[in-house]
Structure 1
Amino acid sequence: MKVLRIVPNFQTDNLEAAKCFYQQILGLDILMDHGWIVTYGSLEPMQVQVSFAANGGSGTAVPDLSIEVDKLDVAYEKMREAGFEIEYGPVNEPWGVRRFYVRDPFNKLINILAHLEKMPGES
């Protein structure tokens, strides 16, 4: 057996609220819309991961969802411009990521992150 896909499902009575956060700011596409469920994602290949954590690192809460982006500062500015409150960061973490925490329209704690580039000579 092989896992083909992992999809988190968040309950809401306001499906439209996801559009600004997940489509307009983060750039995800609508992959499915049946009226009662809307699935955002990308047709580009991505890694599937599930994490279990005792804490969020650096004294933070465990986020509900982590989203890796290629341009963290752009995501940060778009979130601020759209009025989403940043709860943590942005900060460079000792394990090699730059990240910030923000609450989505459904009160889920989202960890937006980008891996830091390795400096020349680092392994």
Structure 2
Amino acid sequence: MKLNAGIITKKLQETKKFYTEVLDFSVSFENEFYLLLHTPNHSAELSFLLPNHASQKPIFQSEFNGKGVYLTIEVENVDQVYEKLKKKSIPIEIEIRNEPWGDRHFAIVDPNNIGIDIVTYTKPEE
């Protein structure tokens, strides 16, 4: 089984630019109403779809309202990714920090108002 989460948005081009230029995703497939992206190591995919497209059934037409969704991206070295994004002047929503449950992470927001938690998992505090 493989999971591909999808977001319905009018911001296909802004989203493509953000994920490819900020997070180094690549395009797996793209047409005028659909964008499929994959992580640098091809381990995960994320798709975006224009709202109210005639080719789609009603269940896939309503635009995402910008609330109630977040993504977590696990990386080997969160500090390295943090510094890279700071150098690109990407706004940081939550500054890098350690959590007692074992995360070292920071967060950014994509063009669709989706929070993205970028994390390296560490040992929980005793």
**Shorter-chain TM-score category?**
0.5 to 0.7
- 1:110 maps to 116
RMSD across aligned C-alpha pairs, in angstroms?
2.8
1:20-35 aligned at under 5 Å gives the runs 20-35=17-32
- In structure 2, relative to structure 1, the CA distance for the partners of 1:115 and 1:63 (3 Å cut) is farther
Residue 99 (1) aligns with residue 105 (2): yes
Distance 1:42 1:100, change over 3 A: closer
Partner SS state of residue 107, structure 2: strand
* TM-superposition CA deviations, 1:18-45 (whole Å, max 9, x none): 2333112211111111221111114746
Equivalent pair of 2:72/2:117 in contact (CA under 8 Å): yes
SS in structure 1 opposite 2:33? coil
Aligned to 2:5: 8
Amino acid at match of 2:13: E
Higher strand share: 2
Which residue is equivalent to 2:79?
73
Identical amino acids, percent of aligned pairs: 28
SS at match of 1:78: helix
Instruction: Give the match's secondary structure for 2:7.
Output: coil
Instruction: Give the structure-2-normalised TM-score.
Output: 0.65
Alpha-carbon displacement from aligned partner over 1:22-70 (angstroms, at most 9, x marks no partner): 11221111111122111111474638xxxxxxxxxxxxxx861111122
Letter in 2 for 1:19: K
Contact 1:25–1:79 (Cα < 8 Å) also in 2:
yes
Give 2:43's aligned residue: 46
Unaligned 5+ segments in structure 2 are 45-67
